[in-house]
Structure 1
Amino acid sequence: MVYIEQFIMSFIPSLCFGIILNAPRRILIPCGLIGGCAWIVTYATMQAGTNVAIATFLGTLMINFLCVYFSRRQRVPAIILSIPGIVPLVPGGPAYTAVRYAVESRYIESFEQILIVIYVSGAIAVGFMVGNMVESKFTHYLSRNRLTRTKQP
């Protein structure tokens, strides 16, 4: 039940962010699905006791793979799907807390929150890079195998 609630509460912001970015109507549901699935992977990984950066990395990989799938299926650029899908993973809460602690002159706590923001942002960036590399190698492998199969009689 908790996972359904978490999915819905991350599906809606991803869908709404797709509306704000004027994404085509036919890809609004995939935008929400990508955000919801990515958050479920991140949430389940954190519930298993993993570091938030590693959980975010795995969620970003999920975003990347789902974006490639839906972009080929819907014939749209993957970036249109990945931007709304990443909304649930962005570390807005720790960033707000860091600023609040800095205003309250609690600099050590503020620095801790800033480090969390940096770790999570880095995990998002690395997740997209690794996902793109894996997708590129996989696509190259598939296209190479198709060529060798067609050459043989």
Structure 2
Amino acid sequence: MIKQIILAFLGSIFPVILFNIDRKKIIWTGFCGTLGWVVYLTVHKYTLNPVSASFAGAFSVGIYSELMARKLKTPAVQFSIPGIFPLVPGITAYTTINNIVEQNYSLAYSEGMQTVAVGGAIAFGIMLSSTTFRFISKLMKRNKLKI
């Protein structure tokens, strides 16, 4: 498990270099991906459902991204995009294509649907966390509270 967490950290750092994000934020994006992966592993351990685990991981990445964006005065996308890299269902997409090539269509359909469901869960988790955070910020602003 420690190895997975370290790899999630590194998997979130390398997109920072690829997307030319400010190098001062490199550690914070690594923590973002690590947080998302730890939440994913925890939820997956109890539910055995990669879709709900991906949603929970993406939701935590989104909340972390919004908080760090406020703290470091930068767009939240600079944290959320590298942060979701460890959650992306790359191996299931690969096995889907591999099963299509091997003409094993029933297994390809099953893997493909899981890939689409996980991708949708990631997108929905990021969207819901961003919307929730903005809604709470708006309420706090209306009541003159500060985050």
TM-score range, shorter chain: over 0.9
Moved over 6 A (4+): none
Whether 1:15 aligns to 2:13 is: yes
Q: Counterpart of 1:78?
A: 76
Structure 1 residues 92-107: aligned runs within 5 Å: 92-107=90-105
Aligned equivalents of 2:44, 2:134: Cα separation in 1: 28
Describe the SS at the equivalent of 2:99. helix
Report the structure number with the largest CA radius of gyration: 1
Whether 1:29 aligns to 2:55 is: no
- The percent identity for this pair of structures is 32
Q: Which amino acid aligns with 2:15?
A: F
Structure 2 residues without counterparts, runs of 5 or longer: none
Aligned equivalents of 2:7, 2:70: Cα separation in 1: 26
Structure 1 residues without counterparts, runs of 5 or longer: 148-153
Q: Counterpart of 1:121?
A: 119
TM-score (norm 2): 0.94
Whether 1:131 aligns to 2:132 is: no
Shift of 1:88: 0.5
Describe the SS at the equivalent of 2:74. coil
Shift of 1:18: 0.9
The CA RMSD measured in Å over matched residues stands at 1.1
Shift of 1:49: 2.6
Residues 17-76 of structure 1 show CA distances to partners (whole Å, capped at 9, x for unaligned) of 111111101111111100011011001111113411111110011011100111111111
* Paired residue total: 145
Moved more, 49-58 or 62-71: 49-58
Q: Counterpart of 2:66?
A: 68
Aligned equivalents of 2:126, 2:88: Cα separation in 1: 13
Asked if structure 1 preserves the Cα contact closer than 8 Å seen for 2:28 and 2:79, the reply is yes
State which of 39, 46, 49 in structure 2 corresponds to 1:48. 46
